[in-house]
Amino acid sequence: TAAATEELIIPPVQISHTQHLINGQFVDAASGKTFPAYDPRTGEVIAHVAEGDAEDINRAVAAARKAFDEGPWPKMSAYERSRILLRFADLVEKHSEELAALETWNNGKPYEQALHAELPMLARLFHYYAGWADKIHGLTVPADGKYHIQTLHEPIGVAGQIIPWNFPLLMFAWKVGPALACGNTIVLKSAEQTPLTALYVAKLFQEAGLPPGVLNVVSGDGPTAGAPLASHMDVDKVAFTGSTDTGKIILELAARSNLKPVTLELGGKSPFIICEDADIDHAVELAHFALFFNQGQCCCAGSRTFVHERVYDEFIEKAKARAVKRVVGDPFKKGVEQGPQIDNEQFEKVLRYIRAGIDSDATLECGGGRLGSKGYFIEPTVFSNVKDDMLIAKDEIFGPVQSILKFKDLDEVVRRANATRYGLAAGVFTRNIDTANYLTRALRAGTVWVNCFDVFDAAIPFGGYKMSGIGREKGIYSLHNYLQVKAVVTPLKNP
């Protein structure tokens, strides 16, 4: 693995917010308990954070309920709501260095990635939804009989939102942006691994003038804080991003309690298909990015690299050379492409999958082990000769492990690419427009990237087919998740 320059970018940040934000106040957990937040570079504790349980969730939901039922938020003019979202986005831009540093410190992702890619997307998403806030309206509907019929698009109420640790700030944005634009109030539970940045941006929302109780943030574990939120009788909608197994639990909790509607963004095992006519150097680079980006911790990672047999050998050589060159190290160092995995549990899990790959007779081209002796660093790992029935071709690994599979023709690759319980994303790499059109229509996935990968934009919907989820986030589609439609029917009479 290549070496990074020694220059450390000193994080200009202090950890100032560790308590829950409930009803506009930072408060301790009802139980008084805290849990540690870690630095994945070393495994050292960097903060003690209020540990939420059902009682904290009750308090937060009560605040959100009151802020919804009594206002002013849902009754405010849409333009005023839009202005608050814009002010928040401006504050994000102003504080982006601290936010990026805090994200890196608690998550391990490269600081330069957080600062130059994720923070601009965070601000952009709120600009985008600020633009929607005052453009949400219903229809006048022609119907049989003498009636005047209109539809009102109303906020749904209190939204419960549960987010994961791989993109703490962006997941916050995807959930909170549309919910607020539509006039809902929120209780958000951050991931137990990464509680810090959500609290920081929640404070920025206070500064931007968001009324108390509109956005409440509770830190804590899934079963003890997430589950009471998903099953709360006063929560009107739940949105979740995380593993497919937990998604099933959320759906069940929602159904067993008050049948609140649920959106789920879950796991994936996305195919990245490199056709025989592809520009190999470009394909190698994109396939590498598709898998290794964010330490491989992306639900949409291109984790099954299908390569046409005619270009397979050349591709393997080059993919291996690229992985060997990948710069792994302290994410605060300049030029680092890959930091540590999030925690020991994920680190061990990824190493177990690597062992499973070796045991199943896939060819280990490079990597395969831990890097260094502290923190959760893993060598960029490439397997070739991967077969469809191997564990590394079926399970979501969520780490820096590329699995390369060989294919012969398009029908075959479509069948194999679709032979998974997931359907989050797919990549297609070809210079032939007919091949591209054929594949984009045949692949069962919520996003198909053609000659690109991981292109995210506030306006582009994202979500899964099959067991990768329910519903779409971002773009106009996310608004539907946070609105109810009321039909109003009035007889038309001659006065």
Cβ pair 220, 53 in contact under 8 A: yes
Q: Which of 161, 246, 402, 481 binds ligand ADP (CB under 6 A)?
A: 246
Cβ pair 154, 205 in contact under 8 A: no
Rounded distance between C-alpha atoms, residue 91 and residue 127, angstroms? 12
428 sits in which H/E element: strand 425-429
Residue 284, phi-psi category: left (phi > 0), alpha (psi -120 to 50), beta (remainder) = alpha
- Smallest gap, in angstroms, from Cβ of residue 267 to ligand ADP? 8
Q: Which of 119, 133, 227, 445 binds ligand ADP (CB under 6 A)?
A: 227
Question: Quick one: which segment of 26-34, 203-211, 242-250, 282-290 binds ligand ADP (CB under 6 A)?
Answer: 242-250
Query: Contact between 350 and ligand ADP (CB under 6 A)?
Result: no
Strand-strand pairing, 20-22 and 25-27: antiparallel
Strand-strand pairing, 483-491 and 147-155: antiparallel
| Nearer Cβ to ligand ADP (162/298) | 162
- Smallest gap, in angstroms, from Cβ of residue 398 to ligand ADP? 7
Per-position b or e across 263-300, b if 16+ CB within 10 A of its CB: bbbbbbbbbbbbbbebebeebbebbbbbbbbbbbbbbb
Rounded distance between C-alpha atoms, residue 323 and residue 345, angstroms? 24
Is 477 buried (19+), middle (13-18) or exposed (0-12) by CB count in 10 A?
middle
Question: Quick one: which segment of 117-125, 169-177, 188-196, 362-370 binds ligand ADP (CB under 6 A)?
Answer: 188-196
Nearest partner of 263 among 469, 108, 465, 462, judged by Cα: 469
- What phi and psi, each to the nearest 5 degrees, are found at residue 429? -125, 110
Q: How many residues bind ligand ADP (CB under 6 A)?
A: 17
| Nearer Cβ to ligand ADP (86/250) | 250
* Site string (14-43) toward ligand ADP, x via CB under 6 A: ------------------------------
Interface of this chain with ligand ADP, residues 418 to 457, rule: CB under 6 A: none
Cβ pair 17, 200 in contact under 8 A: yes
Question: Quick one: which segment of 159-167, 174-182, 254-262, 459-467 binds ligand ADP (CB under 6 A)?
Answer: 159-167
Q: Which of 29, 50, 133, 230 binds ligand ADP (CB under 6 A)?
A: 230
Catalytic: which of 103, 118, 265, 365?
Answer: 265
- Smallest gap, in angstroms, from Cβ of residue 190 to ligand ADP? 6
- To the query of whether residue 276 is one of the catalytic residues in this protein, the response is no
Q: Which of 243, 360, 385, 451 binds ligand ADP (CB under 6 A)?
A: 243
- Smallest gap, in angstroms, from Cβ of residue 241 to ligand ADP? 7
Amino acid making up residue 142: P
- Smallest gap, in angstroms, from Cβ of residue 232 to ligand ADP? 11
Cβ pair 66, 213 in contact under 8 A: yes
Catalytic: which of 299, 337, 366, 473?
Answer: 299
Query: Contact between 192 and ligand ADP (CB under 6 A)?
Result: yes
- To the query of whether residue 300 is one of the catalytic residues in this protein, the response is no
Query: Contact between 238 and ligand ADP (CB under 6 A)?
Result: no
The residues that are catalytic are 265, 299
Positions that interact with ligand ADP (CB under 6 A): 162-164, 189, 191-192, 221-223, 226-227, 230, 242-243, 246, 249-250
